[in-house]
Amino acid sequence: MSPRTWNFLVFGLFGAASLVAGYVARRRRWLDEELSRPIHFHTVVWIWSVPALLSLWRIPPRPENFWLLIVQPALMALAGYGIIPLAKAMRCPRKQIGVLAVAGGTSNTGFTLGAYLCFCLLQPPETALAYGMAYVITAGSAAVLLLYPVARHYGKAEGQPSTVSLGRFFLETFFDLRAMPLYSALAGIALAITETPFPGVIDRWRVIDVFFYLGSFGGYFAIGLRLRLGDTWTYTRQHALLAAVKFVATPLAAAAMLRLISLTPMPLDPVANDVIQVQSFMPAAIVSVMLANLFDLDARMASVTWVVNTVLFLLIPLPLILWWWSSQ
Q: For residue range 254-298, list pLDDT tens digits in order.
A: 999 999 999 998 898 898 999 999 999 999 998 898 888 888 899
Whole-angstrom distance, CA of residue 75 vs CA of residue 121: 22
Whole-angstrom distance, CA of residue 147 vs CA of residue 140: 10
Are 282 and 114 within 8 A, CB to CB? yes
pLDDT of residue 122: 84
* Three-class DSSP category at 308: helix
Helix axis angle, 207-226 to 3-27, nearest 10°: 30
CB within 8 Å of 2: residues ≥ 6 apart: none
Q: Which residue stretches of the chain have pLDDT < 70? A: 1-5, 8, 111-112, 157-173, 327-328
pLDDT of residue 112: 67
Q: How many CB atoms lie within 10 A of CB 289?
A: 32
pLDDT of residue 125: 79
Whole-angstrom distance, CA of residue 232 vs CA of residue 212: 29
pLDDT of residue 36: 87
Q: If you count DSSP H runs as helices and E runs as strands, how many of each does the chain have, helices first?
A: 18, 0
Whole-angstrom distance, CA of residue 84 vs CA of residue 90: 10
- Short-list 19, 77, 99, CA closest to 309: 99
CB within 8 Å of 197: residues ≥ 6 apart: none
Whole-angstrom distance, CA of residue 45 vs CA of residue 177: 6
